[in-house]
Amino acid sequence: MVHTEVGLIAVVAVCLLTLAIGVFGVRVSRTTSDFYVASRSVGPVVNASAIGGEYLSAASFLGAAGLILSQGADALWYSVGWTAGYLVLLVLVAAPLRRSGAYTLSDFAELRLESRAARKVSSVIVVLIGVLYLLPQFQGAGLTLHTLVGAPGWAGSVLVAAVVLVIVVSGGMRSITVTQAFQYWLKLTALVLPLAVLLVHWRHAGGAGAPQLHVADWVEPMQGRYATYLVYSLMVATFLGTMGLPHVVARFYTNIDGRAARRTTIGVLGLLSVFYLLPTVYGVLGRIYSFRLVRSGHTDAVVLELPSDMLHGFGADLLTGLLGAGAFAAFLSTSSGLAVSVAGVLSQDVLRGRSDRVRDFRLATALVVGATLVLLVASTGVPVARAVELAFAVAASTFCPLLLLGIWWRGLTAPGAISGLVAGGTLSTAAVIAALAGYHAPGIAGPLLAQPAAWTAPVGFAVMVGVSLVTAGRRPPGVMRTMVRLHTPEHLDVDRGSFDPERPTARPAEPTAHRGAQRRPATM
């Protein structure tokens, strides 16, 4: 525990700056489109920075270094997977998803499958994943404030929840876009500057490592029992789960067109690649100077504790304060994006039928934040990165099959999609509940529940394909129209029909091709 006034000042400054931008959002956010997708007017550079700010959560800022500290080489796959997931997103999903014209994943499900039931099931899973991902953000905030000033664990969680409520209900997606873009660069700076100082100190101290650094099972990958399965299952979860995260997908709806969505994804790959080099170095330095955290089981705190373990006096306090500011920026940016994406689904599907859509959006935001705080009290304190990993597993088992099959296979039917979502979602959620409850299964069942994606994701795909083949006669009547919409570049003069996310049950008119445009996409 550091107990530094500098850290408290830094945290307060980040919160006030975030609130200032959120309040400014009131002046620029007026329409439903402003609140949900920033009127689809965000450029690739700003959007890439905003995605980086939103995606780099508590697990990235604190948890990744803690995993390197405790697990060594095996934990390198977290950062690799969290980045590589965007490569899959770039190649297979980004542009078609933007062309769909939807606000949320639930909108996409109904557009593609022409089914209200598919929309409802998707909405439930969006809320589940969103709350699971919000949980470690609030948990990490409590850990950070406790480490900095000794505040009780709930204080940081409540502080982040309050700031998120204000910024989201004030300006929605348009407001948090600018906030998140700024917070990416704040987080990067907050890690780079202290690390540069710590590396200079380490070099002047002779650059020697402690004996703990050379333990074989830490340096060499996949040495423990079931380690091979655990690593490959983690890869499946992170590679495939990225595209199914509601707050990530919502960002692509804000792009101007499909080409901008692809350019945004390329920018995100670059920004994440730079960022994820840093937690690895923090973890290695922590193995040398902060090995006590491994013994105590508080490895998530290594980024915040390392300056005081290596340095002394005001310099250590200053570096810790900067890291604390970066950590709170991570909690606020990710929590804001999650709140927007989940509130968008709740306001359209649960509170549907009310006259004031913006008011519904704000009420839904309050419900999401409140439910997450309740779940935080009820959970057993799963490590930050572990909780995020569980959300990835659920996303990989549900929305990944829906998006890939829905975009690239015209044979997907509503019964098939619903069956796959239920099967993959039920199995992966059962594993999540076991983890949150602190249950440890004996034998091979232990790793299967600890890392479920390697078997739950294939189940989701297999059920969707199998049931769709059996129910081939129930393909959506407008599937060809929808595939044209998803796969035809915007610059081609094609009548794409219309899709109004405010009235998603209204089917678009059958499209017709003009001036040599292909009548059906070559991608099917």
User: In 380-440, where does DSSP find H-type helix?
Assistant: 384-397, 399-408, 414-436
CB 22 within 8 A of CB 179: yes
Measure the CA–CA gap between 161 and 328, rounded to whole angstroms: 11
Helix, strand, coil percentages, rounded to 5, for the chain: 75, 0, 20
Burial of 440 (0-12, 13-18, 19+ CB in 10 A): exposed
Place of tokens 């919502």: 250
435 found inside a domain: no
CA distance 81 to 235: 6
Closest CA to 20 of 176, 216, 213: 176
Per-residue tokens: 269: 């790959």
Q: How far is CA 109 from the centre of its chain?
A: 19
Q: Is residue 190 part of a domain?
A: yes
Q: Is residue 94 a part of any domain in this protein? A: yes
Rounded Cα distance, 128 and 442, in Å: 27
463 within a domain of the structure (yes/no): no
What is the span of the domain harbouring residue 156? 5-385
Q: Which two tokens stand for residue 121?
A: 């099931």
> Which pLDDT score, from 0 to 100, does residue 407 have?
95
pLDDT of residue 168: 73
Closest by CA position to 44, among listed 10, 105, 94: 94
In a domain, 143, yes or no: yes
How many domains does the chain fold into? Answer: 1
> What distance in Å separates the CA atoms of residue 439 and residue 435, rounded to the nearest whole number?
6
pLDDT at 70: 87
Please state, in angstroms and rounded to a whole number, the distance separating the CA atoms of residues 406 and 399: 10
Instruction: Give pTM, 2 decimals.
Output: 0.82
Q: pLDDT per residue over 459-495, tens digit each?
A: 999 999 999 999 999 999 999 989 988 888 766 655 5
Spatial contact of 85 and 241, defined as CB atoms under 8 Å apart? yes
Q: Which of 392, 232, 382, 299 is nearest to 71 (CA)?
A: 299
Q: Which residue(s) pair with 494 in the sheet?
A: 513
- Specify if 173 maps to a domain: yes
Burial 189-206 (b: 16+ CB within 10 A, else e): ebbbebbebbeeebeeee
DSSP state of 60: I
Q: What is the CATH number of the domain that holds 162?
A: 1.20.1730.10
What parts of the chain have a pLDDT lower than 70? 1-4, 22-41, 170-175, 206-217, 253, 258, 352-356, 379-384, 490-524
85 within a domain of the structure (yes/no)? yes
Q: How high is the pLDDT of residue 200?
A: 92
Token representation of residue 187 = 């987080």
DSSP secondary structure letters along 344-382: HHHHHHTSTT-S-HHHHHHHHHHHHHHHHHHHHHHS---
Examine residue 193 and state whether it is found in any structural domain, yes or no: yes
Kindly report the average pLDDT of the chain as a whole number: 81
